[in-house]
Amino acid sequence: MGYDILTRVIEFTESDLAIDSRMGKVAGLLVKEFPFDSCAIYAWDDKEKLFKLNVAAGSRKGRVESYGQNQGLPGLARKTKKHLEAYKPGPEGILWQETEDRGLKGFKGACVYPLKDRQRWYGLLYLKSAKKVELSPGEKKLLEVISRLLVSNFKCKHHSQSLKKAGTKIKDIHSRLTQAEKLIVLGELSATFAHEIRNPLVSLGGFAARLKKKIEPDSPFNVYVDYMVNEVRRLEQIINNILRYTEQKEAVFEGTDLNNILSESLAFFSEVFKKHDIEIVEGFARKPLRVMADRHQLKIAFDNLIANAIQSMEKGGKLTVSTSREKSWAVVDLTDNGGGIEPRYINNIFEPFFTTKKYGTGLGLDITKRIITKHKGRIDVDNKMGQGVTFSVKLRRA
Ligand SMILES: Nc1ncnc2c1ncn2[C@@H]1O[C@H](COP(=O)(O)OP(=O)(O)OP(=O)(O)O)[C@@H](O)[C@H]1O
Ligand SMILES: [Mg+2]
């Protein structure tokens, strides 16, 4: 039978069939051509440390779905790293009993061939017979060669799975790159628009302010002019945000007091706090908190966080601002009670252009994060849905 079987096994293993079907065909052939009643090919699962049934042919009697690395004949083969033959009764009967293999009930002979190379285990070939079997040296050699061919098949399967995984990863990277490209183009476009819009907007703002001066304080037109002045200011803010986002200025670091920067930011918003009925609770560290920072940029970062807090509490609320020392960090916590962020958005809030606001640009937090990162600091969010948000900024103490 020798070469004939080998030729057929090679035909199967080289066919266009799916890899598991090829192995199923080989199992069927082994049951037909060798004095065995059952053939099972197990695959080694390195994560779970189990031999798992991959394909089988012949008698279903005593078919075991999986063997642990110390269980039964498969476990013994894994330990000894050799092929095993077991018979009952006979001198090897001892081996038979020691293994306590639950799949051997009703059988009198069994062989196990490890499917492995020098680097790793792929599985094993498990053949069982109801009668005692004595294989000739030629048959044993043949089974060894077939085992090698099965190892090649397992390798193929392994590589094709790796390729599939790599393919999915490439697809993922590709879609992220496309997204990033879109953002770059969007960023460039926004910058161009912002530049184009800024000058006429400044003129409009100037004219509106002049008009306001000309109109009598009790004139009904005041409402319209106020509206114009306020809306132009809001548009200017959006434009400035976009320009800040795209200009990417180099930071100029100097030793500075964090308490001082925060106080200035809070002072800047004092009128707005009053207007929206927002109470400010300050809990500043008593001594100055020295950090190496670009004052101008840090102020922009805090302004954005404060602006968000205000926007979440437009009908009144409480903003708690505290600073503290934590080992080598200077920490700023800003807590509002504006209701918090919907959990489904929490992973998006730092993305450029992500906004849930009608007139937001979605750049505030992105700019803030960039500034903090430039300072080698970190920013964390503690969101309590229904209550409010705490943004914590940590900077290295100087
Ligand atoms: N304190 C907060 N409370 C509730 N939601 C917040 C808070 N801060 C940020 N968010 C959410 O995160 C989103 C992104 O904030 P970000 O500051 O980046 O953009 P924006 O405020 O919408 O627009 P922009 O700041 O550019 O005017 C907001 O639209 C809002 O949904
Ligand atoms: Mg904002």
Pull the structure tokens for residue 134: 């004595």
Ligand nearest to the CA of 389: 1
Rounded to the nearest 5 percent, the helix, strand and coil shares of the chain are 50, 20, 25
Question: Which residue has 């006979």 as its token pair?
Answer: 90
Give residue 180 CA to ligand 1 midpoint distance, Å.
21
Nearest to 72 by CA among 97, 100, 53, 44: 100
Q: Which residues line ligand 1 (CB under 6 A)?
A: 241, 304, 308-309, 312, 336, 338, 341, 345, 349, 354-357, 360-366, 389
The model's pLDDT over 155-182, given as tens digits with 9 standing for 90+, comes to 888 888 889 998 888 887 887 777 777 7
Backbone phi, psi, residue 379, to 5°: -130, 130
Question: What mean pLDDT do residues 241-253 have?
Answer: 75
* Average model confidence (pLDDT) across the chain: 89
pLDDT band at 52 (very low <50, low <70, confident <90, very high): very high
CA distances from 321 to 85, 259, 341, 392 (A): 76, 10, 19, 10
- Residues 261 and 238: their CA atoms lie apart, in Å, by 23
Ligand nearest to the CA of 391: 1
Atom of ligand 1 nearest to the CA of 241: 26
The pTM score is 0.52
pLDDT recorded at residue 233: 87
Question: What mean pLDDT do residues 316-336 have?
Answer: 97
Pocket test for ligand 1, best of 308, 333, 345 (most atoms within 8 A of CB): 308
Tell me, what DSSP letter sits at residue 397?
B
Q: Letter for the amino acid at 10? A: I
Q: Are strands 278-283 and 317-326 parallel, antiparallel or unpaired?
A: parallel
pLDDT recorded at residue 2: 64
- Residues 206 and 92: their CA atoms lie apart, in Å, by 102
Q: Letter for the amino acid at 127? A: L
- Residues 137 and 132: their CA atoms lie apart, in Å, by 16
pLDDT recorded at residue 1: 57
pLDDT band at 57 (very low <50, low <70, confident <90, very high): very high
Q: Which residue minimizes the CA distance to atom 19 of ligand 1?
A: 362
Give residue 317 CA to ligand 1 midpoint distance, Å.
17
The model's pLDDT over 277-317, given as tens digits with 9 standing for 90+, comes to 999 999 999 999 999 999 988 998 999 999 999 999 999 99
Question: What mean pLDDT do residues 27-51 have?
Answer: 94
pLDDT band at 94 (very low <50, low <70, confident <90, very high): low
Question: What mean pLDDT do residues 75-98 have?
Answer: 75
pLDDT band at 153 (very low <50, low <70, confident <90, very high): confident
pLDDT recorded at residue 146: 92
Give residue 255 CA to ligand 1 midpoint distance, Å.
30
Question: What mean pLDDT do residues 77-90 have?
Answer: 81
Nearest to 40 by CA among 64, 17, 22, 18: 64
Ligand nearest to the CA of 310: 1
Cβ–Cβ under 8 Å, residues 114 and 175: no
Domains of the chain in start order, with CATH, are: 2-165 (3.30.450.40), 172-247 (1.10.287), 254-396 (3.30.565.10)
CA distances from 178 to 51, 115, 175, 182, 354 (A): 42, 43, 5, 6, 17
The model's pLDDT over 99-152, given as tens digits with 9 standing for 90+, comes to 678 888 888 889 999 999 988 999 999 999 998 888 888 888 999 999 999 998
Backbone phi, psi, residue 74, to 5°: -60, -40
Pocket test for ligand 1, best of 238, 306, 321, 365 (most atoms within 8 A of CB): 365
**pLDDT score of 398 more than 60:** yes
